[in-house]
Chain A
């Protein structure tokens, strides 16, 4: 029998981007419809983030904090084997107050709808990775649900498993995706080269390690519809997956974002899966079901960064000017396709680094392995391929006999240069400005040379050695190729009494400050104060599908569309009552003409990309960055401390400089962790580091002192030329750190994380090579 349930207390208290306080008097009209004229002074200022107070006093409501009366708890039975046929015995749960679901209970095709529909909601007869979901249980309490899962019996029949790239290459080498870029004539370019260098670079899995583990609540309604509330980045991805799963109309599913404790890409794809599990359990139980992962389950089951193996063959002239590069990018996709094709695409398109070269060939493949599926993670393939590109550039510099800054100055892109896809780079191409600023701030060149000399002269006294390293990176903003054109991305602005505006967009705030910057952009474009703008909740019943919160696209793409909508709304209101204050004109409109909502969409920006040939404008615009990292390395233990980092980042226009700096600082530390701390090793297809005790993300004692320098070279269609900042900080940190280690102790590791063990191995190998 179905018991009644109610949501305890008020509805989920979603935060609006502004409290409804009286507006300041100084509400002067802005230039009509001109989104680029500074009007309210919002953009470039540092208004207080509206979600801050609730986060510091503990009142912000995350998904696990939400009490839903009558809700049961879901738990998941997971595969212990990397690849096995299995049969389930659920008889222990017969006649118990629980529900239990297996693949046979999943409607339709038992697939999560994403890119290639190959990802089962529940494994059906064959498990393809450790941690894959085999069965679901819901019970009145979390403890009962977990106890019930422990009573399920699984009989495995092991099958040959391929758990890493070595296995895959030696075995089935099953491709989940492949793509290639061809530019000029690599063979003749290499033939003309004074130096040709070949090397292979590797990067390991990385955990997102958002502090709030994933979770979702499904609430079935009497009319047959279902509502899910959860920790997520992309409400419409979840909506799309659930509509496909249930075979229902769009109105049959409502997805709402709870306050979300970090994402970094990890809550882009996997929430579809948890939502599917919660919804199926709720439908069977006839009551709300809460599925909250603990840390171990989150680390076992959810996605990670794709491990990579990137081979470079580089030809340069006697001065180190690039003549030809041939690159092979190999990614480990894990068991299912999920987002691997687009991760590979971005990896390949960034693989040659921010350097002009007339002859380029890049080939990329993603191979399937029997590990948890790898997915979206800040940078989306670009950090992996640029780690290789940057370390290769340092290798070229040594071969040619110049310092790391000089080699980059000789090759870095300038406006008008042509990328491997044939894209002509625009005026905001700021690679050289980033390098110059980094040099001005740090005196890199002289210090690098001095430390090279010190290392050569160093005695074996066991004292820590200092080192300094440099990297240069680029990052394409927004979806690759024609992705933005396909998204369309409607964004609405609605007029509210008193001259207030409500922004309706699907963009989520996962900590980065979306609520704040979108309100600033709307305020600026409409010529109203920041306080006059509120954001509607990220709720599919309320906001249009303005696309996912990914790909550094929120400020440039969604913000650009929003600016047009806000400017158009303000223009109409002001024309309605010329000479009146905006507030008075707004009230006049509402009284005389009724509601006002303006919807704008993606506007063709003239970029053209051929997805079949990989020719054309791969990205609307690029962000640029140069990192200088200083380390000390213990010459005996090879323990590395990151001491100081200077992070130069061209963001086009800093909408909120403090929030921009937050992205640079947090993203860079995540990159340093990936570079030397976050060891992730597989044993029999299971990640050995499956908890925060064993998987070590940087603490406050591991974090270097950071100086962030924001450059503004406006470009693209974003508000005032803002280019996005979410991902580029992930690109340069690891190669700069490794370069600094090399400067300190002369060890050039080709693999990260560069733990002491990896450095030791690299030193031994280097010694035996000589």
Chain B
């Protein structure tokens, strides 16, 4: 079965033709060559494949491509190319929120959505928002430090 889906990806219109049940993750990585979105578990537990669908965080491994037809998808590549990325990316590196990096694109996607709705989240709110993004390296402490530094000025280990 082959069907056509048209959606906006990082601000440009793309047409996908193929299996309508293909995972959005595979369409992004293979058809679109956007490999910043990672597969960590393939079942919506780890959040490494997080993207924004109409501004909401979704696991792209759980979304069949037919569901994005006519809608707007933002991946890490799209987010990283806009003006809001620099400060967040920099503070994540500076405060130890990045180690192996496999969870990092998903973490960035989640944090961007959080900061969009709450520009000055508390630590508890950041923990809550990140609960769907597994990180095995940092103990989350560096990520929490980074957001605190971003929204409240300097913070150091």
Closest B residue to A58 by CB, please name it: B36
Say whether chain A's binding surface is mostly helix, strand, loop, or mixed.
loop
Say whether chain B's binding surface is mostly helix, strand, loop, or mixed.
loop
Of the residues A55, A61, A657, A703, contact of B139 by C-beta under 8 Å:
A703
- 22 residue pairs of the A-B complex, CB under 8 angstroms, read A53-B89, A53-B93, A56-B105, A57-B89, A58-B34, A58-B35, A58-B77, A58-B105, A65-B29, A65-B35, A210-B102, A210-B136, A211-B134, A212-B38, A212-B40, A657-B157, A666-B139, A668-B139, A691-B43, A692-B40, A700-B126, A701-B128
- A261-B100, A661-B157, A666-B99 known; 12 new pairs, CB 8 Å cut-off, are A53-B93, A56-B85, A56-B88, A56-B108, A57-B89, A208-B136, A211-B137, A212-B40, A212-B100, A512-B137, A662-B138, A692-B43
Q: Among A61, A64, A511, which residue has the most Cβ atoms of chain B within 10 A?
A: A511
* B101 sits at the interface (CB 8 A): yes
Contact flags (1/0) for A144-168 with B, using CB distance below 8 Å?
0000000000000000000000000
In the complex, which residues of chain B have a beta carbon less than 8 angstroms from the beta carbon of A65?
29, 35
In the complex, which residues of chain A have a beta carbon less than 8 angstroms from the beta carbon of B43?
295, 691-693
Q: How far is the CA of A41 from the CA of B99 in the complex (A)?
A: 23
Contact flags (1/0) for A78-120 with B, using CB distance below 8 Å?
0000000000000000000000000000000000000000000
* A669 sits at the interface (CB 8 A): yes
* B16 sits at the interface (CB 8 A): no
In the complex, which residues of chain B have a beta carbon less than 8 angstroms from the beta carbon of A61?
35
In the complex, which residues of chain A have a beta carbon less than 8 angstroms from the beta carbon of B99?
262, 511-513, 662, 666
- Do A511 and B39 touch (CB < 8 A)? no
* A347 sits at the interface (CB 8 A): no
In the complex, which residues of chain A have a beta carbon less than 8 angstroms from the beta carbon of B93?
48-49, 52-53, 55-56
- Do A259 and B101 touch (CB < 8 A)? yes
In the complex, which residues of chain A have a beta carbon less than 8 angstroms from the beta carbon of B73?
none
Q: Which of B23-44 contact A (CB under 8 A)?
A: 29, 33-43
Of the residues A55, A662, A699, contact of B134 by C-beta under 8 Å:
A699
Q: Report the number of A-B residue pairs with Cβ-Cβ less than 8 Å.
A: 181
* A67 sits at the interface (CB 8 A): yes
Q: A52-B98, A62-B102 are in contact. Are A211 and B48 (CB under 8 A)?
A: yes
- Do B96 and A659 touch (CB < 8 A)? yes
- Do A56 and B104 touch (CB < 8 A)? yes
Q: A65-B35, A262-B136 are in contact. Are A511 and B101 (CB under 8 A)?
A: yes
Of the residues B41, B104, B126, B137, contact of A662 by C-beta under 8 Å:
B137
- Do B45 and A55 touch (CB < 8 A)? no
Closest B residue to A48 by CB, please name it: B93
- Do A700 and B102 touch (CB < 8 A)? no
Closest B residue to A261 by CB, please name it: B102
Q: A60-B101, A665-B142 are in contact. Are A658 and B80 (CB under 8 A)?
A: no
In the complex, which residues of chain A have a beta carbon less than 8 angstroms from the beta carbon of B80?
56-59
Q: Which of B61-98 contact A (CB under 8 A)?
A: 75-77, 80, 85, 88-89, 92-96, 98
Closest 5 CB pairs of A and B: A58-B36, A511-B100, A261-B102, A55-B101, A52-B93
Q: Which of B122-153 contact A (CB under 8 A)?
A: 126-128, 130-144
* A201 sits at the interface (CB 8 A): no
Q: How far is the CA of A705 from the CA of B141 in the complex (A)?
A: 7
Q: A51-B101, A662-B99 are in contact. Are A700 and B130 (CB under 8 A)?
A: yes
In the complex, which residues of chain A have a beta carbon less than 8 angstroms from the beta carbon of B120?
none
Q: How far is the CA of A355 from the CA of B35 in the complex (A)?
A: 50
* A757 sits at the interface (CB 8 A): no
Q: How far is the CA of A211 from the CA of B106 in the complex (A)?
A: 11
Q: Among B96, B103, B127, B133, which residue has the most Cβ atoms of chain A within 10 A?
A: B96
Interface residues on A, range: 35 or more
- Do A670 and B98 touch (CB < 8 A)? no
Q: A211-B135, A693-B45 are in contact. Are A700 and B98 (CB under 8 A)?
A: no
Q: How far is the CA of A33 from the CA of B145 in the complex (A)?
A: 39
* B46 sits at the interface (CB 8 A): yes
- Do B92 and A48 touch (CB < 8 A)? no
- Do B95 and A658 touch (CB < 8 A)? yes
In the complex, which residues of chain B have a beta carbon less than 8 angstroms from the beta carbon of A55?
93, 98, 100-101, 104-105
Q: How far is the CA of A705 from the CA of B137 in the complex (A)?
A: 15
- Do A699 and B131 touch (CB < 8 A)? yes
* A180 sits at the interface (CB 8 A): no
In the complex, which residues of chain A have a beta carbon less than 8 angstroms from the beta carbon of B39?
64, 213, 294
Q: How far is the CA of A131 from the CA of B132 in the complex (A)?
A: 29
* A679 sits at the interface (CB 8 A): no
Closest A residue to B107 by CB, please name it: A56
Of the residues A58, A209, A294, A657, contact of B136 by C-beta under 8 Å:
A209
In the complex, which residues of chain A have a beta carbon less than 8 angstroms from the beta carbon of B94?
46, 48
In the complex, which residues of chain B have a beta carbon less than 8 angstroms from the beta carbon of A52?
89, 92-93, 98
Closest A residue to B103 by CB, please name it: A211
- Do B135 and A56 touch (CB < 8 A)? no
Closest B residue to A510 by CB, please name it: B100
In the complex, which residues of chain A have a beta carbon less than 8 angstroms from the beta carbon of B38?
62, 211-212, 261
Q: Which of A25-57 contact B (CB under 8 A)?
A: 46, 48-49, 51-57
- Do B138 and A666 touch (CB < 8 A)? yes
* A706 sits at the interface (CB 8 A): yes
Q: What's the minimum C-beta distance from B23 to chain A, rounded to whole angstroms? A: 12
- Do B136 and A697 touch (CB < 8 A)? yes
Q: Among B40, B42, B134, B137, which residue has the most Cβ atoms of chain A within 10 A?
A: B137
Q: What's the minimum C-beta distance from A384 to chain B, rounded to whole angstroms? A: 19
Q: How far is the CA of A294 from the CA of B25 in the complex (A)?
A: 14
Q: A56-B108, A57-B76, A697-B134 are in contact. Are A211 and B40 (CB under 8 A)?
A: yes
In the complex, which residues of chain A have a beta carbon less than 8 angstroms from the beta carbon of B101?
51, 54-56, 60, 259, 261, 511
Q: What's the minimum C-beta distance from B19 to chain A, rounded to whole angstroms? A: 10
